[in-house]
Amino acid sequence: MQRIFSLARERFAEHLAGVVDIVGVAHIGALSDMDDQGWDHQFDIVLRHAYLAIQLGAPALASRGGGTIVFVGSLAGLASVANQVAYGTAKAALPHLVRSSAHEFGPRGVRINAVAPGFVRTPRLLSRLGEPYWQNVADLNPMRRVVIPADIARAILFLCSGLAGYVTGNVLTLDGGTAFVAALPEIRPST
């Protein structure tokens, strides 16, 4: 992370205005099958880099008069997702890191927020999950579709822009309303 911020200062000089952090790969599997090394790795890849991005990036932005940091969280950090206990636990800590860091760095002009998408049609997930899975996710979604990378990019662009100049410490859920739908069978009206 020190190398990344050193390179950013070198390349962007006074124009460094924001950081977008999109790191996170889920360990898929039962918690009972995970060892200490796997747990530590999941927290390193999900949370440690976020802490370092704030620890190094926020002061760099503050020294230039302020800026914004946006993280990509996950629906798995807001609700239970089967076989993603370690990933979800690490992603659940991210909103607290965002809120607390926004509180700490707000007086220095640095806004810190996150987005929390559901399952995203990324090349990695598309290669792992078949079309029937994606259709099932879409069918359970109030908008009847799955989030795509462009949806996330637009939300991040908003959070980085002046339009969100008074927005900090927030986690914007990007799941088309899925997190707010009760997992119950549909009740059909009797005829």
Active site residues: 87
| Six-digit token string for 172 | 């914007």
Q: How far is CA 108 from CA 1, 32, 62, 64, in A?
A: 21, 43, 6, 10
Label residue 144 left, alpha or beta by phi (over 0 means left) and psi (-120 to 50 means alpha): left
CB neighbour class for 43 (10 Å; exposed up to 12, middle 13-18, buried from 19): middle
Round to whole Å and give the CA distance between 109 and 34: 41
Let me know: does 94 contact 153? Beta carbons within 8 Å.
no
Q: What angle do the packed helices 49-62 and 2-12 form, to 10 degrees? A: 30
Beta-bridge mates of residue 113:
70
First to last CA, the chain: 62
